Amino acid sequence: MTLHREGTSIILISLAISMALGVLNWVYLFPISNILGSCFFLLLLVMLVLVIQFFRIPKRQNTYEPKEITCPADGKVVVIEETTETEYFKDKRIQVSIFMSPLNVHANYYPIKGTLPFVKYHPGKFLVAWHPKSSTDNERTTIVVKNEDGKEILIRQIAGAVARRICYYGQANDKVEQAGELGFIKFGSRVDLFLPLETKINVKLGQSVQAKLTSIGFLS
């Protein structure tokens, strides 16, 4: 397991603040031998561990079948429905949405291999990730991957009430690999997939999924 580069500055700042608060508490309030002092130091340690674990990147390897759609994020499937995608496709698609809690791994990965015909960042609000308007009103990115057969999948990274920064690494016309690094969303959010209507879906509502490992489904 490694730590994602997006967490370097936040982890260092959190470590510095924890050490400073610990010293101030020890000098001016309660020594560590005092039960209140011990509890305070324990609280600082737990908070620091939570920050560090948020940026963890577990080592995962998998092999993929032809036309398989790989899960782009860790979390829970909260939406599987037919809907109209209005930004790029402007037609009916199957939407699969994955909610990531602050305890999930927050790196995102490409679900298929191909090129990027469309990449766009949208500034916006920070509604809770399960809010019906979060996919259209929140800060988000829209990334489309087109495979060698001409099939296209749209991935939308959506910031949540706690997430305040979306990171994405691909640019229009880039070539990307399946399970290659797409980006990172800091501190809780959602990833939406918009798939062709004929896609065979393998996941179910409420299912816990893992990036790179869970099969979302298969393109026809």
- State the catalytic residues: 189
- Give residue for tokens 């495979």: 147
Residues contacting residue 166 through CB under 8 Å, at least 6 positions apart = 121, 139, 140, 141, 157, 159, 183, 184, 185, 186, 189
Rounded to whole angstroms, the Cα distance separating 22 from 94 reads 51
Structural contact between residues 154 and 188, judged by C-beta atoms closer than 8 angstroms: no
DSSP string, 175-206: EE-TT-EEEEESSSEEEEEEE-TTPEE---TT
Q: Strands, E, within 20-165: which ranges? A: 56-57, 68-70, 75-85, 91-100, 107-109, 114-122, 140-146, 152-159
Under DSSP, is residue 37 helix (H, G, I), strand (E, B) or coil? helix
